A = this chain, B = another copy of it.
């Protein structure tokens, strides 16, 4: 078993109604890989600039994240800035400085090409195609995407759908792609586009898993305080595929657990700024939070 994660690595500036930080670790790969690492050590592909903090590289190494595919290029790391409205109802992008990420062309090291599990974290669908082109193996492929690509790279995204096993998407993106507001009908249309598994994320209301004629729903945890929702979706899908790689089981019942562990990690993610909420967890933290999901949803 091996797990490859390809996406963005960034330094983020995050402003909330009560807090503001800059140049903190961000990007889809950072969240996905840290979350996955609690279950299975992922191999990442990405690019950063020479200014990328050694402390973050150390954090990745502490989490047994394999960095053979991480390229350090002359220039500056991708930077993204966002501001959240009070109550996190809305997010405004303050700036997007691609820097070395502008010419990112993900190249899989030889050792990655036989991956059993691949997470195409949120980057341009053209790059996601290119990752799949390099695989020697029949991997279980999970795709994450965003509204921007649905708008600007629609055809590449649609052709990508035929090459993946699972699509993870939020409710707004699901409506954009299918024109359907009804979750069941939207999932049916999404599955007809290719993936046999579809997960629709509903933010604080949890997530829905669709497969064949089966449905599973995981609730959102009711948290006392949300500090920073950045990366919660990446964290969810990272933990989900990490759990799948660890458990080597693609049954519906095991996929339920993968969604629950995705939700467990995502709930930790939003409780702290940047990746702090998912950087220093103990196994006992995960077990305690898992137990909360059990108590909250099992009858």
Rounded to whole Å, the gap between the CB of A94 and the closest CB of chain B is 24
Q: Which residue of B lies closest to A184 (CB)?
A: B222
| Residue from the list B215, B225, B260, B297 in contact with A217, Cβ < 8 A | B297
Answer yes or no: A182 CB below 8 A from chain B CBs.
yes
**A297: chain B residues within 8 A (beta carbon):** 216-217, 219, 297-299
Q: CA separation between A297 and B299, bound complex, in Å?
A: 9
| Residue from the list B185, B224, B298 in contact with A185, Cβ < 8 A | B224
Rounded to whole Å, the gap between the CB of A256 and the closest CB of chain B is 4
B222, A296: Cβ atoms under 8 Å?
A: no
Q: CA separation between A260 and B217, bound complex, in Å?
A: 14
Q: Which of A200-228 contact B (CB under 8 A)?
A: 202, 205-206, 208, 214-220, 222-226
B181, A295: Cβ atoms under 8 Å?
A: no
Rounded to whole Å, the gap between the CB of A88 and the closest CB of chain B is 9
Answer yes or no: A183 CB below 8 A from chain B CBs.
yes
- Against B, the Cβ 8 Å flags (1 = close, 0 = not) of A180-197 are 011111000000000000
Answer yes or no: A133 CB below 8 A from chain B CBs.
no
Q: Which of A279-299 contact B (CB under 8 A)?
A: 295-299
Q: CA separation between A36 and B282, bound complex, in Å?
A: 47
Interface residues on A, range: 20 to 34
Answer yes or no: A90 CB below 8 A from chain B CBs.
no
Answer yes or no: A146 CB below 8 A from chain B CBs.
no
**A224: chain B residues within 8 A (beta carbon):** 182, 184-185
| Residue from the list B184, B223, B295 in contact with A214, Cβ < 8 A | B295
Known contacts A205-B205, A206-B219, A208-B222: does B182 contact A257 (CB below 8 Å)?
no
Answer yes or no: A92 CB below 8 A from chain B CBs.
no
B184, A216: Cβ atoms under 8 Å?
A: no
B216, A253: Cβ atoms under 8 Å?
A: no
**A215: chain B residues within 8 A (beta carbon):** 222, 295-296
Answer yes or no: A18 CB below 8 A from chain B CBs.
no
Q: Which residue of B lies closest to A293 (CB)?
A: B299
Answer yes or no: A103 CB below 8 A from chain B CBs.
no
B299, A253: Cβ atoms under 8 Å?
A: yes
Q: Which residue of B lies closest to A210 (CB)?
A: B222
A–B Cβ pairs within 8 angstroms, 16 of them: A87-B181, A182-B223, A182-B224, A182-B226, A183-B222, A184-B222, A184-B223, A184-B224, A202-B205, A205-B206, A215-B296, A217-B297, A253-B299, A297-B297, A297-B298, A297-B299
Question: Which residues of A are in contact with B by a Cβ distance under 8 Å?
Answer: 87, 181-185, 202, 205-206, 208, 214-220, 222-226, 253, 256-257, 260, 295-299
